[in-house]
Structure 1
Amino acid sequence: MNENVPEARKESREESATASAETDAKLAELEDRWLRAVADLDNLRKRISRDNERLRAEERARVAAAWLPVLDNLELALSHACRDDDAKAVLDGVRAVRDQAVAVLSKLGYPRHDETGVIFDPARHEAVAAVERTDVEPGNVVEVLQPGYGEGERQLRPARVAVAKKAE
């Protein structure tokens, strides 16, 4: 019977080692699953953040675009009001409203572009007329017919302009 005692201890140690190895393997598997779950959660947070930012940008663009007809009508009213000297107070009021609307668009990230004398840039301008001019280099903007709003990828619309061309 003494001979069986060392064998029993040996078997007990082997079973204990096997159980310990199984526990270690199970622990490693659970840790791996936990790390993957944490990484998945982090990726989800990042994706939601990107999606929210994209949705906010789209909504800002929609709101800003809704303002464009208002600005166009104010511009038209200003051009007609300039013909009547008695309308100075009305003209000042309409100008103030236009300036306020332009400021709102600018705060939303869509600054106004109505510069003349600059080189025509197809990314910022839409040429709607070519005007023969000897006093201006060909390819320069000589008149802004409708201002543009925004920049780069955040452009609501380009400025509609008349561009100088070489006199023939």
Structure 2
Amino acid sequence: MRALPIAVTVLAAALALTSCDDSGGSKTDEAGKTDKSASTDCRVDHVGIEVGPANAAPAAGDTGNVPVTLTNRDSTCTLKGFPGLEVHAGGDSTDIAPEKSANPVKLTLAKNDTATFTITYVRGEKGDAKTFDAQTLKISLPGATATQDFKWSYGPVAGKNEAADLNASVSPFQHAGD
């Protein structure tokens, strides 16, 4: 009869290990449905976002920096990687790519903690075919599609080879003050 308690213990341990996904955030019930309420990822509708004040590029060819600050307004959550950034002009849109050499770390934000990231861009010449005349910035958080929209008031953004290939990048998240 000793084999039964050991088998039950092994089965219980196996079930406990399968109750979380790889991120440790979502749970799966017996029917295979995922419970997203257990996720610890920060959600864009639960953070306050402040864009700027910026060190805007004053003329075509100059580099500008736009700091963005996120304040967690809810329970503890995590950020890892880069924000999703998209700029819009009329019916056109294009992404701002992550910094290629950056190594993002996982940040845990308690309620009212802040994190920042920076958008670096080269100002384009208005009317140039390689310039994207950005008007709106859409920000999303890793693993989500919901966005918050902000007015882009820092001038047109230069493209590398064409307007859709922006000469711009975004840094990974870091704790404010780091």
Over alpha carbons, which structure has the higher Rg?
Answer: 1
Higher relative contact order, structure no. (Cα contacts within 8 Å, ≥ 6 residues apart): 2
TM-score by length of 2: 0.32
Q: Give the structure with the larger helix fraction.
A: 1
More strand by share: 2
Q: Compute the TM-score of the two structures, normalised by the length of structure 1.
A: 0.33
